[in-house]
Amino acid sequence: MPRTYLCFLWHMHQPFYKDLISGQYCMPWTRLHALKDYYGMVRMLEEFPQVRVTFNLVPSMLMQVEEYAAGQADDPWLAGALRPAESLSQAELDHLLRGSFAGNPARMIYRYPRYGELYDAWRAADRNPQRARLLFGTQAVRDLQVLSQLAWFDEEYLARDAEVRELAAQGRDFTLGDQQAMARKQREILGAVLPVHREFLERGQIEISTTPFYHPILPLLCDSNIAEVAHPYVPLPSRFRYPADARLQLERARIYMADRFGAAPAGLWPSEGSVSDEALGLAAEAGFRWAATDNGVLARTLGHAAGVEETYRPHVWRHGGREMRMLFRDHALSDLIGFVYARLGAAEAARDFLGRIRENCRGILAAGRDALVPVILDGENAWEYYERNGRPFLRELYRQIDEDPRLEALTVSQAMERLEPQPLDHIFPGSWIGANFDIWIGAEEDNRAWEYLLRARRTFDEQAVQVSEENRALAQEELLIAEGSDWCWWYGPEHASDYRAEFDELFRTHLANVYRALNLRPPDELSRPILTLAAKDYHLPPSGPIRPTIDGEVTSYFEWLGAGSYRVEARSGAMHGKRFLMRELFYGSDGVHLYVRIDFQTAALEALPGAEARLSLQSAADPGLVSCFVLEFAPGGVRLASGACARPHQAPAAPSEFAFRKILEARFALAALGVKSGQAVRLQLSLWKDGLPLDALPQQGYLDISTAEPTDWPL
- The H or E element spanning position 170 is helix 162-170
- Please report, rounded to a whole number, the percentage of residues in the chain having pLDDT higher than 90: 78
- Give pLDDT tens digits for 374-416: 999 999 999 999 999 999 999 999 999 999 999 999 999 999 9
Four-CA torsion 297, 327, 485, 71, nearest 10 degrees: 170
Instruction: Judge contact between 323 and 317, C-beta under 8 A.
Output: yes
- Which of 101, 50, 549, 106 shows the shortest CA–CA distance to 343? 106
Q: How confident is the model at residue 709 (pLDDT cuts 50, 70, 90)?
A: low
With a cut of 50, say whether residue 210 has pLDDT above it. Answer: yes
3-class secondary-structure state, position 492: coil
Query: Bridge partners of 632?
Result: 612, 639
Q: What is the DSSP string of 318-355?
A: EETTEEEEEEEE-HHHHHIIIIIGGGS-HHHHHHHHHH
- Give pLDDT tens digits for 50-99: 999 999 999 999 999 999 999 999 999 999 999 999 999 999 999 999 99
- Sheet strands (E) in 387-430: 407-409, 422-424
Q: How confident is the model at residue 537 (pLDDT cuts 50, 70, 90)?
A: low
- Which of 443, 338, 323 shows the shortest CA–CA distance to 385? 338
Buried b (16+ CB within 10 A) or exposed e, 496-535: beebbeebbbbbbbbbbbbbbbbebebeeebeeebbeeee
- Which of 324, 252, 302, 296 shows the shortest CA–CA distance to 437? 296
Q: How confident is the model at residue 713 (pLDDT cuts 50, 70, 90)?
A: very low
Instruction: Judge contact between 611 and 694, C-beta under 8 A.
Output: yes
- Give pLDDT tens digits for 13-40: 999 999 999 999 999 999 999 999 999 9
> What pTM value is reported for the model?
0.85
Query: Bridge partners of 703?
Result: 683
With a cut of 90, say whether residue 321 has pLDDT above it. Answer: yes
Identify the pLDDT of residue 17. Answer: 96
Instruction: Judge contact between 582 and 685, C-beta under 8 A.
Output: yes
More confident residue, 523 or 506: 506
Buried b (16+ CB within 10 A) or exposed e, 370-405: bbbbbbbbbbbbbbbbbbebbbbbbbbbbbbbbeee
Identify the pLDDT of residue 569. Answer: 62
Distance from C-alpha of 258 to C-alpha of 252, rounded to nearest angstrom: 10
More confident residue, 457 or 575: 457
- Give pLDDT tens digits for 624-639: 888 889 999 988 788 8
Instruction: Judge contact between 6 and 409, C-beta under 8 A.
Output: yes
Q: Crossing angle, helix 176-203 and helix 243-261, to 10 degrees?
A: 100
Burial grade of 330 (CB within 10 A; 0-12, 13-18, 19 or more): buried
- The H or E element spanning position 462 is helix 444-463
CA distances, 140 to each of 87, 143, 407 (Å) = 14, 5, 51
Residue ranges in 6-112 assigned as alpha helix (H): 29-33, 40-43, 59-69, 76-82, 90-99
Amino acid at 330: D
Distance from C-alpha of 698 to C-alpha of 696, rounded to nearest angstrom: 6
Q: Which of 280-289, 473-482, 653-662 has the lowest mean pLDDT?
A: 653-662
Distance from C-alpha of 151 to C-alpha of 278, rounded to nearest angstrom: 44
Identify the pLDDT of residue 644. Answer: 44
Distance from C-alpha of 625 to C-alpha of 673, rounded to nearest angstrom: 7
Distance from C-alpha of 668 to C-alpha of 11, rounded to nearest angstrom: 47
Identify the pLDDT of residue 691. Answer: 65
Distance from C-alpha of 696 to C-alpha of 614, rounded to nearest angstrom: 9
- 463 φ, ψ (degrees, to nearest 5): -110, -10
Q: Crossing angle, helix 59-69 and helix 176-203, to 10 degrees?
A: 140
**CA Rg, the chain, in Å?**
27
- Please report, rounded to a whole number, the percentage of residues in the chain having pLDDT higher than 70: 94
Between CA 126 and CA 131, with CA 128 as vertex, the angle to 5 degrees is: 95
With a cut of 80, say whether residue 643 has pLDDT above it. Answer: no
166 Cα distance to chain centroid: 31
Q: Which of 312-321, 405-414, 538-547 has the lowest mean pLDDT?
A: 538-547
Could you give all domains of the chain from N- to C-terminal order, each with its CATH number?
Answer: 444-527 (1.20.1430.10), 538-712 (2.60.40.10)
- 495 φ, ψ (degrees, to nearest 5): -125, 150
- Give pLDDT tens digits for 138-166: 999 999 999 999 999 999 999 999 999 99
Q: How confident is the model at residue 326 (pLDDT cuts 50, 70, 90)?
A: very high
With a cut of 80, say whether residue 218 has pLDDT above it. Answer: yes
**Beta strand pairing call for 322-329 and 538-540:** unpaired
The predicted model gives 500-524 an average pLDDT of: 93
Average pLDDT, the chain: 92
Query: What's the full length of the chain, in residues?
Result: 715
